[in-house]
């Protein structure tokens, strides 16, 4: 009996040690891979629409080594420029993410929230958030009805956004004020970056559109050291999620000859997606939008992308999505019309706390965009901008 007890005690101690060790494991993945570090930095930055400064700071730091000049439009979009002659090629990715604003503080210290961007109501409840207050980050949760007092019919209900509130542990409006929180303060999801169980898939908030920004940084890095017969304007835009506002103002300033938007795409390879709803799969390579509700891409530009992908052996997927809009729609209608395409990295669960992208898709996208820009010389851009029917 004693021996068994001793063995049991030893087992219990080693189990406890293992559990403590697991509890002490870092909350977020660490990696020596500079691309993963860049993803971690970009996705963890808080930047809902209209509050993009933390992301702008990262973009300035990352683009400075490769840019001849960094300027801003009057709305806050940041424009990094490489070279000063040849056709004006605009690359675009937006800095803002889905989030919210504090709307009202109740007398007993709860907060209501104005959402920014296209949220599902069911993505909002029982989540952790960061409020960016005047004294720094304040942790908040969207409270949930307690199951023990819910009527049976309530158990399968979606709680509408107007019934939700943020709880920051305050007992009164005065305590909320003391924590540095007031109406108008931005709110973002609390969702740290993770490598998903050792796979090539990465989990984070805000892939839309921090992954597009990461593509621009990597392309700027490559093109800083290789020839290209154009001037490149890397536009990190603001306020895309509330109506592509920064792309419109940035395009007015840049006056591009052609433009490529870099975005997230919608996948079909999860349960419950109907065949006609989406076409992309995670890990299948970057994709080009052939249609969305906001934009019809320039047809010659689409063919140019297809040819470039094929000649460089880069996989390319297609997509057509109904409930989707992107910066290319604003750019193509600026300055009397601009040929544009929207290139995307397949993403699971966009507009939520927990999106997933694939590393191979990112690497292929960087290859593709670099190859495209290298081929956009004066003759190619003139061809894309020619609409007169060819004479017989």
Comparing CB distances to Zn ion, the nearer of 208 and 361 is 208
> Which region, judged by CB under 5 A, interacts with Zn ion, from 23-31, 96-104, 173-181, 203-211?
203-211
Residues contacting residue 15 through CB under 8 Å, at least 6 positions apart: none
Task: Find the shortest distance in angstroms from Cβ 148 to Zn ion.
Answer: 40
Peptide bond before residue 140 is cis, with ω within 30 degrees of 0: no
Q: How far apart are CA 117 and CA 114, in angstroms?
A: 10
| From 73, 208, 218, 280, residue interacting with Zn ion (rule: CB under 5 A) | 208
209 binds Zn ion (CB under 5 A): yes
Smallest gap from residue 209 Cβ to Zn ion (A): 4
Cα–Cα distances in angstroms (integers) from residue 151 to residues 148, 165, 361, in the given order: 9, 20, 46
Query: What six digits make up the tokens of 232?
Result: 């490149």
Pick between residue 329 and residue 376 the one whose CB is nearest to Zn ion.
Answer: 329
Of 15-23, 95-103, 204-212, 339-347: span binding Zn ion (CB under 5 A): 204-212
CA distance 125 to 65: 42
| Minimum distance of Zn ion from residue 263's CB (angstroms) | 5
Count CB-CB contacts under 10 A for residue 147: 8
Catalytic residue check, 240: yes
Using the contact rule CB under 5 A, the part of the chain among 137-145, 155-163, 200-208, 332-340 near Zn ion is 200-208
3-state secondary structure of 111: strand
Per the residue annotation, which of 240, 263, 295, 380 is the catalytic one?
A: 240
Helices (H), the chain: 2-23, 34-44, 53-63, 173-178, 207-223, 245-254, 299-311, 327-332, 359-375, 378-384
Distances (CA, A) of 204 to 24, 127, 249: 21, 14, 29
Q: Which residues contact 102 (CB under 8 A, 6 or more apart)?
A: 111, 112, 113, 114, 131, 166, 181, 182, 183, 184, 185, 187
Q: Using the minimum distance from each CB to Zn ion, give the nearer residue, 208 or 292.
A: 208
DSSP 3-state of 340: strand
* Residue 208 or 380 with smaller CB distance to Zn ion: 208
Residue 129: closest CA among 186, 181, 176: 186
| Residue 244, φ and ψ in degrees, nearest 5 | 55, 40
Query: Quick one: 92 or 208, whose CB is closer to Zn ion?
Result: 208
Instruction: Rank residues 168 and 206 by Cβ distance to Zn ion and give the closer one.
Output: 206
CA 352, chain centre distance (Å) = 10
Name the one residue in this structure whose structure tokens are 């702008």. 56
Shortest distance (Å) from residue 91 CB to Zn ion? 14
CB 353 to Zn ion: min, Å: 16
Question: Min. distance of Cβ 297 from Zn ion in angstroms?
Answer: 16
Site for Zn ion in 101-160 (CB under 5 A): none
Compute the distance between CA of residue 263 and CA of residue 260 in angstroms, rounded to an integer. Answer: 10
Which residue number, 263 or 380, has a Cβ lying nearer to Zn ion? 263
Smallest gap, in angstroms, from Cβ of residue 212 to Zn ion? 7
Radius of gyration of the chain measured on its C-alpha atoms: 24
Q: Given the rule CB under 5 A, which of 64-72, 101-109, 152-160, 209-217 is the region that contacts Zn ion?
A: 209-217
Q: Which two tokens stand for residue 112?
A: 């209501």
Residues carrying an active site annotation: 240
List of residues contacting Zn ion (CB under 5 A): 208-209
């Amino acid at each position: 009996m004693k021996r068994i007890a001793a063995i049991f005690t030893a087992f219990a101690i080693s189990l406890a040690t293992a559990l403590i060790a697991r509890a002490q494991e870092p909350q977020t993945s660490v990696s020596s891979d500079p691309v993963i570090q860049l993803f971690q930095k970009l996705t963890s930055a808080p930047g809902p629409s209209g509050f993009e400064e933390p992301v702008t700071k990262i973009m300035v730091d990352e683009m400075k080594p490769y840019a001849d000049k960094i300027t801003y439009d009057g709305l806050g979009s940041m424009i990094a420029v490489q070279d000063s002659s040849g056709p004006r090629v605009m690359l675009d990715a937006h800095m803002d993410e889905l989030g919210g604003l504090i709307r009202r503080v109740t007398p007993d210290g709860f907060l209501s929230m104005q959402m920014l961007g296209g949220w599902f109501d069911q993505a909002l409840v029982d989540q952790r958030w960061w409020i960016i207050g005047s004294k720094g980050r304040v942790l908040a949760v969207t409270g949930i009805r307690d199951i023990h007092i819910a009527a049976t019919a309530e158990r399968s209900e979606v709680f509408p956004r107007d019934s939700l509130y943020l709880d920051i542990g305050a007992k009164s409006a005065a305590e909320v004020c003391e924590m540095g929180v007031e109406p108008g303060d931005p709110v973002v999801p609390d969702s740290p970056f993770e490598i998903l169980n050792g796979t090539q898939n990465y989990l984070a908030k805000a892939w839309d559109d921090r992954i597009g920004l990461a593509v621009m940084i990597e392309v700027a890095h490559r093109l800083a050291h290789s020839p290209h017969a154009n001037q490149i304007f890397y536009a990190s835009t603001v306020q895309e999620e509330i109506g592509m506002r920064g792309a419109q103002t940035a395009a007015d300033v840049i006056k591009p000859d052609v433009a490529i938007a870099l975005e997230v795409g919608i996948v079909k390879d999860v349960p419950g997606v109907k065949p006609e709803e989406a076409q992309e799969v995670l890990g299948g390579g970057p994709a080009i939008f052939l249609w969305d509700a906001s934009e019809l891409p320039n047809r010659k530009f689409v063919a140019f992308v297809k040819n470039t992908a094929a000649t460089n052996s880069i996989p390319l997927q297609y997509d057509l999505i109904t409930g989707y809009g992107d910066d290319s729609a604003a750019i193509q209608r600026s300055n009397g019309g601009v040929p544009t395409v929207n290139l995307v990295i397949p993403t699971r669960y966009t507009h939520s706390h927990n999106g997933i992208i694939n590393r191979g898709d990112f690497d292929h996208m960087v290859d593709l965009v670099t190859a495209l820009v290298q081929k956009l010389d004066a003759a190619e851009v003139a061809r894309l901008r020619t609409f007169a029917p060819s004479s017989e």
